[in-house]
Amino acid sequence: MVEIGVNNCAEHNSTDEELVRLFLESQDNRHFQKLYERYALKVYKKCVSFTKDATRAEDITHDVFLKLMSKMGTFKKDAKFSTWLFSVTYNHCMDLVRISKRKIVMVHEECEDFEDDINLYAIFEEEIDLKSLKAALGRLNLEEKALIYLKYLDDRSIRDIARMLQMTESAVKMRLMRSKQKLRKRYHEIFRIG
């Protein structure tokens, strides 16, 4: 009994990367379960931002973790688990978008949380109206929104984004610059009307 408690405590204090290693070595689902407990809500929120459908997002979250379990052997030891997990989640959601051939709007449900989550000054350098910003984001295509969210919502580096999207860093910088310009333009169009 005491040994189980010690293992649970050690597992609780293990890094994500250690849990991956332990899972791969032992195939003990408790290690994977711990990763699931740590990240299920974050993955779910990402899925909701893609689908805007809570029930669908739950299904996709389960699919992502099933896919993750089968891909654990491809995890690189020098990588950060959370970055890898986000990449798997993002790619899975993008695959679903391509399969369904419909655009999915990535918009936060709560305007109050939105201001805390995104570095608005880095995009606008002025006070902004959140309702108009939300509408402007809705007018961007999926790739443009993804770039804006990855850089300013998730605070990812250009290098991380390039790796995730399998692009060069210069391509990411150029597309990000165009996406910001388009977002500002759409925002100002909407703000003037409103």
- CA angle 108/166/157 to nearest 5° reads 55
User: Would the pLDDT of 54 be above 80?
Assistant: yes
Torsional sign, CA 181, 186, 189, 194: negative
Task: Please check whether residues 92 and 160 belong to one and the same domain.
Answer: no
Tally of structural domains, the chain = 2
The 8 Å CB, 24+ separation contacts for 173-176 are: 175/143, 175/144, 175/147, 176/147, 176/148, 176/151
Q: What is the mean pLDDT of residues 4-18?
A: 62
Q: Is residue 105 in a domain? A: no
Residue 88's pLDDT is 85
% of the chain exceeding 90 in pLDDT: 9
User: CATH number of the domain that 129 lies in?
Assistant: 1.10.10.10
Task: Please check whether residues 43 and 7 belong to one and the same domain.
Answer: yes
Residue 1's pLDDT is 29
Residue 139's pLDDT is 85
The model's pLDDT over 28-43, given as tens digits with 9 standing for 90+, comes to 889 989 999 999 999 9
Residue 107's pLDDT is 38
pTM of this structure: 0.51
Range of the domain at 132: 111-193
Among 56, 80, 100, residue at a domain's last position: 100
Task: Please check whether residues 116 and 184 belong to one and the same domain.
Answer: yes
